[in-house]
């Protein structure tokens, strides 16, 4: 598996990581612990060294499972987890909280559940409007000095927030949604990250499954599946957005690949410091996704894809209204 550096930080990871959220939440049901451990270890055997998790996934379950899976392989992998929410006793109330004392509590819990003495990449999960980003960056800087954390990351942060944080503690990676059906980071964020030497980790690189061609207008989601609440996954939006999948399927057929592989190869072709983290709960899909690292899209291919994208008008917001406020601050 090829490796990539996340910006100028020196943090080297596999060219594709594994997004572990879906093993514990989001696209229910959660995967049985033994199966999840087997999948994570299979990923390591196939060269994946970058694992994306969060305290709030599960909540806590995801860190527990990934910690168990990676404990015997700890020296071979980079573990990225996230802080920044209050998790209520019912495990449901998830209010933003990036106060320094809360970050300190979170790091201890994450270290314990991950069964490790250091977190390789510690992201603020969402920007907290009540806590200056300088205080957050300063707290993580202290944790790095104490040896509990190696690198600092931000999620869905706007350009000014990235700049301000980076001035206090260099940011190793920004994680935000980026894919063939959500290209906003190209406007302001990617040029900024290039200037600062910050790596970029696209989440939901397969459009939460849509870009693989396996989700149709008539697909129904379980009540507890996050996509049930997302406007972009309403039947009407799926129907309207079908054109993108048809185009992707045609492009994939020409190259004897799959739509998922084109979607991932396209992301990796944008910048050498971009490391997508597709999520899957299935070994055959993990293998399909990892094979995307072997696909090299030529400038002509990229131009063809760009031209094709220009003919598609994507319909539907990517988050329900209640969560829109959490992005791009
Ligand atoms: N911090 C955040 O706010 C945030 C938000 C979302 C995600 N993330 C991170 O980003 C990671 C990836 O994002 P994501 O899981 O939302 O979306 P994604 O990677 O775009 O898509 C995952 C979905 O696609 C399916 N899938 C994966 N590979 C496939 C293939 N080759 N063919 C057909 N279907 C396939 C998976 O189902 P199966 O399991 O059935 O294969 C799953 O439903 C997460 O695991 C998480 O670590 C972060």
The partner residues of 83 in beta bridges, in order of sequence, read 124
The fraction of the chain above a pLDDT of 70, given in percent, is 98
User: Of 109, 108, 111, 106, which is closest to residue 124 (Cα–Cα)?
Assistant: 106
The response to whether residue 63 sits with its C-beta less than 6 Å from ligand 1 reads: no
CA distance 82 to 95: 14
Q: Whose CA is nearest to atom 16 of ligand 1?
A: 204
* Interstrand relation of 12-14 and 3-5 (parallel, antiparallel or unpaired): antiparallel
Q: Return the active site residues.
A: 57
The pLDDT tens digits of the residues spanning 143-184 come to 999 999 999 999 999 999 999 999 999 999 999 999 999 999
Confidence (pLDDT) at 165: 98
The response to whether residue 153 sits with its C-beta less than 6 Å from ligand 1 reads: no
pLDDT of 90 higher than 80:
no
Confidence (pLDDT) at 325: 66
The response to whether residue 112 sits with its C-beta less than 6 Å from ligand 1 reads: no
Q: Is 302 exposed, middle or buried (0-12, 13-18, 19+ CB in 10 A)?
A: middle
State which ligand 1 atom lies nearest to the alpha carbon of 289: 31
Q: Which CATH number is 311's domain given?
A: 3.20.20.100
CA distance 91 to 58: 8
The larger pLDDT score, comparing residue 328 to residue 319, is at 319
Unique residue bearing structure tokens 């079908």: 242
Cβ-Cβ contacts under 8 Å for 292 (sequence gap 6 or more)? 16, 257, 260, 261, 262, 264, 265, 268
**Ligand 1 center to residue 20 CA distance, Å?**
8
The pLDDT tens digits of the residues spanning 304-316 come to 898 888 899 999 9
Confidence (pLDDT) at 88: 77
Confidence (pLDDT) at 18: 98
Q: Is 225 exposed, middle or buried (0-12, 13-18, 19+ CB in 10 A)?
A: middle
Confidence (pLDDT) at 279: 98
Question: What is the count of structural domains for the chain?
Answer: 1
State which ligand 1 atom lies nearest to the alpha carbon of 281: 39
Confidence (pLDDT) at 270: 96
Domain interval for residue 246: 3-326
CA 77 from chain centre, in angstroms, equals 16
């Amino acid at each position: 598996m090829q490796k990539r550096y996340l910006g100028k930080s020196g943090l080297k990871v596999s060219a594709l990581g594994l997004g572990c959220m879906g093993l514990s939440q989001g696209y229910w049901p959660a995967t049985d612990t033994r199966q999840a451990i087997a999948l994570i270890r299979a990923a390591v055997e196939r060269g994946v060294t970058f694992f994306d998790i969060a305290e709030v996934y599960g909540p806590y379950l995801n860190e527990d499972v990934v910690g168990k899976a990676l404990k015997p392989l700890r020296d071979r992998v980079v573990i990225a987890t996230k802080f920044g929410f209050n998790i209520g006793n019912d495990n449901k109330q998830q209010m933003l909280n990036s106060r320094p004392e809360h970050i300190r509590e979170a790091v201890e819990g994450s270290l314990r559940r991950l069964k490790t003495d250091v977190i390789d990449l510690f992201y603020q999960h969402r920007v907290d409007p009540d806590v200056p980003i300088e205080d957050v960056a300063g707290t993580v800087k202290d944790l790095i000095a104490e040896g509990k954390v190696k690198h600092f990351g931000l999620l869905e942060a706007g350009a000014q927030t990235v700049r301000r944080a980076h001035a206090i503690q260099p940011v190793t990676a920004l994680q935000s949604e980026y894919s063939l059906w959500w290209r906003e980071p190209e406007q302001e964020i990617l040029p900024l990250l290039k200037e600062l030497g910050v790596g970029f980790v696209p989440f939901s690189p397969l459009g939460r499954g849509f870009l693989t061609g396996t989700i149709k207008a008539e697909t129904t989601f379980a009540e507890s599946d996050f996509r049930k609440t997302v406007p972009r996954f309403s039947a009407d939006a799926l129907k309207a957005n079908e054109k993108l999948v048809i185009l992707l399927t045609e492009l994939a057929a020409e190259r004897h690949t799959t739509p998922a592989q084109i979607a991932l190869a396209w992301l990796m072709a944008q910048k050498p410091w971009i490391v997508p983290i597709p999520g899957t709960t299935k070994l055959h899909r993990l293998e399909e996704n990892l094979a995307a690292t072997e696909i090299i899209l030529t400038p002509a291919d990229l131009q063809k894809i760009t031209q094709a994208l220009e003919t598609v008008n994507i319909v539907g917001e990517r988050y329900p209204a209640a969560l829109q406020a959490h992005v791009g601050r």
